[in-house]
Structure 1
Amino acid sequence: MSAMAGFATALTFVWLGMVLAISFLEAPLKFRAPGVTLPIGLGIGRLVFRALNGVEVVLAIAIVVALLLGDSPGWAITAICIADLALLTQLVAVRPQLTKRSDAVLAAGPNAVPASRSRAHYGYVALELVKVLSLIVAGIVLLAG
């Protein structure tokens, strides 16, 4: 494995770990913590996901550069491109809708409870699953070299 492929592999698994830890562990658990109200949970979520998405953009760019500079398998490049496209879709199409929805929930007051999750939320989760699967494939292909 070349140095660039090794670098891309490491970054791929770091990205995967971050998405799994934050999206599928931290996000659902924060609302179960004692004293965490919906407004507090939404505020925490906004900060955490803004930070996560920022780091994801840096990782996505770094991985693509490493893959392009190294001798990387085509399947790895394809899988990373799928993960990058899922991230871009989240940032451009889904996050603005989630922000609008959370603004409305927060404006309704601390005792207001939304009737259900928005479709945008389900879309975000679906795109997270796409990213996870793509990153797993990319990591495995890169390791197999």
Structure 2
Amino acid sequence: MSSAQAVITAVLFVWLGMVLAISFLEAPLKFRAPQVTLPIGLGIGRLVFRALNTVEVGFAAITVVALLFASFGGVAVAAVIAVVILAAQLLFVRPGLTRRSDAVLAGEDAPRSNAHFAYIALEVIKAIALLVGGILALLDAVA
């Protein structure tokens, strides 16, 4: 296994683990905890997702650099899909979610946002791309 293969395999699987843990486990569960109101949950969620997205941007950058140092075929396609989805989430979906959470935290009665469903759909696709990319990277390494 080359250094680039090792890096991209590790990054894709760690990135996947973080997305699964935060987006699909922590995010929905925090609203079920006793005493957690919508504003408290949104405040926690903003902090957690800001941290997650910061780490994801780092992982995306490492992934792109690793792709420059080796030919990965299907791994590259899956990894680029994950990077593009992250960019779409940050540039197009998160601003709408931020506006709604700002309104709720300011005490306004803001309606639910369809941006949340878009973010979840993109998160599912990103998780699948990361899983496929990680598996293909492992298969390339053992071939």
TM over 0.5: yes
For 2:5 and 2:51, how far apart are their aligned partners in 1? 26
Letter in 1 for 2:24: F
RMSD value over aligned CA atoms?
A: 1.2
Partner in structure 1 of residue 78 of structure 2: 79
Distance 1:130 1:143 in 2: 20
Matched residue, 1:28: 28
Match of 2:104 in 1: 105
Stretches (4+) displaced over 3 A: none
Partner of 1:67: 67
State the alpha-carbon separation in 2 of the partners of residues 108 and 120 from structure 1.
20
**Number of aligned residue pairs:** 140
Partner residue in 2 for 1:133? 128
Displacement of 1:64 in angstroms is 1.4
C-alpha distance after superposition, 1:33-72 (max 9, x if no partner): 11111111000000000000000000011011112112x3
**% identical equivalent positions:** 62
Instruction: Return the alpha-carbon distance in structure 1 between the equivalents of residues 17 and 10 of structure 2.
Output: 11
Offset of residue 74 of structure 1: 1.2
Matched, 1:48 2:43: no
Task: Render the CA deviation track for 1:77-121: whole Å, top value 9, x for unaligned.
Answer: 111110001000000000000000111222236xx5x65x31100
Q: Which amino acid aligns with 2:64?
A: V
How far apart, in 2, do the equivalents of 1:133 and 1:34 lie? 32
Scaled by the length of structure 1, the TM-score of the pair is 0.92
User: TM-score, with normalisation over the residues of structure 2?
Assistant: 0.93
